[in-house]
Chains A and B, each alone.
Chain A
Amino acid sequence: MRFFSFLFFFSLIYSTRGQSVNQINFDKKIDFLLYLTNNNQISDANYFVINTILDSNLTVEQKDTLLFFSGMSNFKLKDYSTSNSFLTKVSDKTNLIYKAKFYSVASLAKTKNYDKAINNLNDLDVDFSPELSSLKNFELAGIYILKDKANSYELLEPKLYSTDSLLQKEIFFLKENYKSLINQNKKSPFKAGLLSAIVPGLGKVYTGNKGQALSAFIRVAALGVMTYDSYLKLGINNPQTIIFGSLFSAFYFGNILGSALSVQIVKNEKKNEINHNILVGLQIPIDYFFE
């Protein structure tokens, strides 16, 4: 009897020792995945999940749990393309599907796949819940601005409202951002150049670079004074007058050209800043809704 019990014990140890990663049960798989993500071994965790999903023994719900978990952990680590590839595979049968879809849209927006994000949002059917549909409209509006689709945004703007105070606040910020983007786009290079021609540096003030404006004014004015002084004391044919004069005219016209070109540069800078603000704003209500 003892012998048999010992044999049983022996075989038990043998069976647990020989187990490989693919043969363990689902709960232990989840434990292992948690262990990997807690230890920041995210590439191993991703590989493990991709391999486990190929295993046909798992049910759809189990697969969805794994996919959703790795999608979210990749999203938190800011690997948005990997996160999206996991989240899009989550099936519609679970109750996590809306969370997965919205986070997938957020990760698509962060990787600048705006067309895909817009398509995904339009396919999403959330008419049953007023909260979710207002969230959907908010996301759509934000991505329209990011994609430079002003017409689509203006069509959608009257629909933007929410009973929720946080979402309403974010909608307000989005509208403000859109307004400042429009104001920035109104500035013309011709006006900046003209202002710079009248007083050097004034064009830079118009575009918004006040520090550069002062230094440009001092440079051009000093060269002007030097040229005038040399002209009075040394005459027009003196080489110093000619050098100072040509330097002055080069700086003067260069400043006009620089002001005109800087309008576009400042526009791009401002646009990048606003786009960043919008992207951050798009994620806040999603985090809040699915907490």
Chain B
Amino acid sequence: MKLITTFLLVCKFLLIIFLNNSFAQEFKNIDSLIEIKKYDDARIACEYLAFSNQENVEFAARFLLKKTEILKLQNKADEIPQALRRINLSNINDTLKSYIYYENFLYYFNSNNISKAEENILLILSLNTEKKLSKSSTIFYSLLLNNKQNWIQSKSNMLFYINNLELDITTKNHLIDTINKMYNNNKFPKIKSVKKARLLSTIFPGMGQIYNGNYGKAFMSLTLIGMSGLLVYYNFSNEAYLSGILSGNALLPLFYFGNVNQMRNLVETKNKRKANSFNNKLNKNLLYIYEKTKHID
């Protein structure tokens, strides 16, 4: 009797191992389908496994995550959020959750939806489970903050990243020095305000353009307004009051309000150009630091 019970226990133990491994087998099958480029079949297999394991939320989530991988290979990134939204986040562990948030973040980052990307990255950082994931997401968070022109917070985020690394003091100090150099306050591009530029242009035509550095545009709006003023004066001095009033009514407001309204576009494009060229340099350095410190725990 004892022999039989021990045998049964061993079998049970084997069965548990087998059950856990059987999903590994399923993942292997999907991988082999991907290898021979049968992406559609692999997607269906993922969906079917998620469907038949609906009670086991964690496995369903894993299969849906696998599906996003296939969607990326198929260049069907638009369908990724749809697949991820279906995962029931309430009953799964934090590691899996952070992977799901990471996939979400990558999708939103690539489709330039900055606010949603930031939301997901903050969720990963708050969970703080996988060291590798949280490291790369700290760097990504800095990139996002640079994009929002919030350089001071980005700098403190980078310093936090380096302080958490287990390095010897000299290299750490060297890295901190480079970050301080990169985020030098004097180097930040000077962002100009649209409101101020519009106000200046309203007070005197061309002044807002000069404030933004568009000297040619300033000269042009001044001459256009001056010429139409001269036309009105010429007509009035020759007693052609009707044509003076009508032409002045048509031309003067057109050029004056055009001069004010063009400021928003001019200031915004110039600000964007400045910030982008600064960020490009910054991001290159950030990625370089990440490449160097990637392997350190």
Q: What residues make up the interface of A, taking CB atoms closer than 8 Å to B? A: 2-3, 6, 10, 13, 17-18, 20-21, 31-32, 35-36, 39-41, 43-44, 47-48, 51, 222, 225-227, 229-230, 232-234, 240, 244
Contact = CB atoms under 8 A, between A and B. Distances in A.
Contact of B8 (A2, A21, A232): A2
A226 B242 contact: yes
A48 B242 contact: no
Interface string B224-262: 000000010011001111110011001000000000000
B210 interface: no
Interface in B11-26: 11, 15, 19, 22
Interface residues of B, number: 32
Contacts of B7: 3
Contact of B11 (A6, A13, A225, A240): A6
Contacts of B47: 32, 35-36, 41, 44
B44 A234 contact: no
A3 B79 CA distance: 49
Interface string B61-90: 000000000000000000100110010000
A31 B51 CA distance: 9
B98 to A, nearest CB: 23
29 contacts: A2-B8, A3-B4, A6-B8, A13-B15, A17-B19, A17-B22, A18-B22, A20-B29, A21-B48, A32-B51, A35-B51, A39-B86, A40-B82, A41-B47, A44-B43, A47-B40, A47-B44, A51-B41, A51-B44, A226-B242, A226-B243, A226-B247, A230-B235, A230-B243, A232-B240, A233-B240, A234-B238, A240-B231, A240-B234
B84 to A, nearest CB: 12
Given A39-B86, A48-B44, 20 more contacts: A2-B4, A2-B8, A13-B15, A17-B22, A20-B45, A20-B48, A21-B44, A31-B51, A32-B47, A32-B51, A41-B47, A41-B82, A41-B83, A44-B40, A44-B43, A44-B44, A44-B47, A226-B246, A226-B247, A234-B238
A240 B51 CA distance: 80
